[in-house]
């Protein structure tokens, strides 16, 4: 079983907090990898929030190819950050030669373009890069989006932390939202793309569980949007459904829950909005999930949310202090990073609940 975690804070926090959050839960995962997506960046990226940052792991050739493609398209690099690595012998890490975090300015012709046009461009660029680098496994392009960085690696999370010097807090590499998970997907081949969290156009999702409607989801999503590709893990389906419901259909977040875990028909009939709920269930039946799952997601406005499947549930706890909210599969993780919180205010969501935390750390709870 995976363990998943997320931190949302009023202050910029360092990934060491995410490592700590997961460290105490390591009995529950197999220590086969470490992955995180950071939103709302601080440190060296803080000044460049409006510009897209490329997160990539690649060979030298891969880096060269990617940069060429971006330059050809007119992107201009404004910042490059290469994490200093600790390559001491004996670390359990299957590292790629280069980890690249580069921020680019948009091509000139796009600088005054509408937001939507820019966002489509960024997606197309990422897909193009991924495609180009995939052929010879020259690299893995995780995200190319403003104010978002992604790191994914195969190995022991503790050693990965050591390698990237993530155990030592500093102020250069921080964010207000960090989502994280410490296990490579075990149902499928171990490839870097298969590790959640997954990111698409400002949306991030990660999940703990098994989606038995994977095939149904995949077959439907493949035709919904050009960005819905890969499907290396069943949890990617959650990201795509989230993106589709919230961004493509433009529906409020709470309807994501009605799409992935619709109410039983008998229950729908009793509701005032039965007509809408039924229409959703009918038209989006192929995005329904089944099996035990807990999902954590982040929206482009940095709202953090969580919800579970309709029946079997995977655990999730939400612990809070005045300036930080932490989501974790196991409460021991929260105890580790927020030892002084009032644990009586911890939230254990139920299967029909959707919990969202906004930028003021206000917690909203919707019952389906």
Partner 1 sequence: MESMRVQDVTPNDLPWKIRYDAHRCTLCGSCVAACSFRAIESKVEQRRLIFSEGEFPEPKARFSAVPVIRQVKSFKNYCRGCGICEKICPNDAIAPVRNPDSRHPIITRCLGGDSIKRGGRKNLESTVRTLDKLRVGRISQMTDPSLDAQRHTFDMLAPFGRILPPQKLPMGVGPDGLLQATGTTPPVNWVYPVIIGDMSIGALSWRMWEAVAMAVAYLNEECGLPVRMCSGEGGVPVRLLKSKYLKYMILQIASGHFGWNRIAKAMPHMVEDPAGILIKIGQGAKPGDGGLLMAQKVAEHIMAIRGVPKTDLLSPPNHQGLYSIEESVQKMFLSFNAAFKFRVPVAIKVAASATSVSVYNNLVRDPYNIVGGLFLDGIDGGTGAAHEVSLDHTGHPIVSKLRDCYLAATAQGRQGQIPLWAAGGLGKTGDLAADAFKMMCLGANGVFTGKLILQMAGCVGNDQGRCNACNTGLCPVGITTQEPPLVRRLDPEKVAQNIVNYFLAMDTEFKKLMAPIGNSSLPIGRADALVATDQAVADKLQIQYVC
**Would you say 49 or 216 has its CB closer to partner 1?**
216
Which residues share a beta bridge with 178? 7, 38
Number of residues that bind partner 1 (CB under 8 A): 40
**Would you say 170 or 269 has its CB closer to partner 1?**
269
Tell how far CA 217 is from the center of its chain: 18
Cα separation of 297 and 335, whole Å?
22
- Interaction with partner 1 in 309-338: which residues (CB under 8 A)? 310-312
**Would you say 81 or 251 has its CB closer to partner 1?**
251
CA-wise closest residue to 288 among 209, 361, 217: 217
* Contacts of residue 121, Cβ cutoff 8 Å, sequence gap at least 6: 106, 107, 110, 113
352 binds partner 1 (CB under 8 A): no
**Would you say 30 or 46 has its CB closer to partner 1?**
30
* CB contact at 8 A, 71 and 106: no
- Interaction with partner 1 in 260-299: which residues (CB under 8 A)? 264-265, 273, 275-276, 278-280, 282-286, 288, 290-292
**Would you say 26 or 59 has its CB closer to partner 1?**
26
What string marks each residue from 204 to 233 as x (binds partner 1 by CB under 8 A) or -?
Answer: -----xx-xxxxx--xx-xxx---------
The least CB distance from residue 212 to partner 1, in Å, is: 5
- Interaction with partner 1 in 13-72: which residues (CB under 8 A)? none
CA-wise closest residue to 146 among 221, 79, 242: 79
Cα distance between the two ends of the chain: 26
Cα distances from 86 to residues 36, 63, 153, in angstroms, run 19, 21, 14
* CB contact at 8 A, 145 and 202: yes
**Would you say 116 or 223 has its CB closer to partner 1?**
223
Stated length of the chain = 368
Selected from 249, 271, 342, 348, the binder of partner 1 by CB under 8 A is 249
Q: Which stretch binds partner 1 (CB under 8 A): 5-13, 145-153, 158-166, 250-258?
A: 250-258
**Would you say 11 or 282 has its CB closer to partner 1?**
282
Q: Which positions lie near partner 1, rule CB under 8 A?
A: 1, 209-210, 212-216, 219-220, 222-224, 244, 248-252, 255, 264-265, 273, 275-276, 278-280, 282-286, 288, 290-292, 310-312
């Amino acid at each position: 079983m995976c363990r998943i975690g997320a931190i949302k804070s009023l202050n910029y926090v360092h990934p060491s907090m995410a490592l700590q959050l997961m460290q105490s839960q390591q009995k529950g995962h197999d220590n086969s990898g470490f992955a995180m997506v950071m939103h709302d960046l601080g440190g060296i990226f803080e000044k460049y929030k409006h510009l897209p940052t490329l997160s990539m792991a690649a060979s030298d050739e891969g880096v060269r190819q990617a940069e060429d493609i971006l330059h050809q398209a007119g992107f201009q690099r404004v910042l490059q950050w290469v994490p200093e690595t600790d390559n001491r012998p004996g670390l359990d890490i299957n590292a790629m030669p280069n980890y690249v975090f580069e921020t680019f300015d948009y091509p000139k012709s796009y600088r005054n373009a509408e937001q939507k046009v820019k966002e489509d461009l960024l997606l197309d660029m990422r897909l193009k890069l991924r495609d180009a680098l995939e052929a010879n496994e020259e690299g893995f392009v995780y995200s190319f989006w403003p104010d978002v960085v992604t790191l994914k690696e195969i190995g022991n999370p503790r050693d990965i932390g050591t390698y990237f010097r993530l155990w030592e807090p500093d102020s250069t590499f921080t964010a207000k939202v960090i989502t994280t998970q410490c296990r490579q997907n075990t149902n499928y081949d171990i490839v870097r793309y298969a590790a959640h969290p997954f990111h698409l156009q400002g949306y991030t999702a990660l999940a703990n569980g098994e989606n038995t409607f994977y095939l149904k989801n995949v077959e439907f999503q493949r035709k919904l949007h050009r960005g819905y590709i890969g499907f290396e893990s069943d949890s990617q389906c959650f990201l795509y459904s989230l993106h589709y419901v919230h961004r493509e259909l433009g529906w409020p977040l709470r309807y994501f829950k009605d799409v992935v875990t619709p109410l039983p028909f008998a229950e729908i009939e009793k509701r005032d909005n039965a007509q809408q709920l039924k229409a959703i269930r009918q038209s989006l039946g192929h995005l329904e999930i089944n099996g035990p799952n807990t999902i954590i997601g982040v929206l482009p406005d940095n709202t953090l949310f969580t919800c579970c499947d309709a029946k079997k549930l995977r655990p999730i706890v939400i612990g809070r202090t005045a300036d930080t909210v932490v989501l974790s599969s196991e409460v021991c993780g929260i105890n580790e990073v927020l030892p002084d919180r009032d644990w009586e205010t911890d939230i254990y969501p139920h299967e029909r609940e959707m919990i969202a935390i906004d930028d003021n750390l206000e917690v909203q709870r919707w019952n389906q």
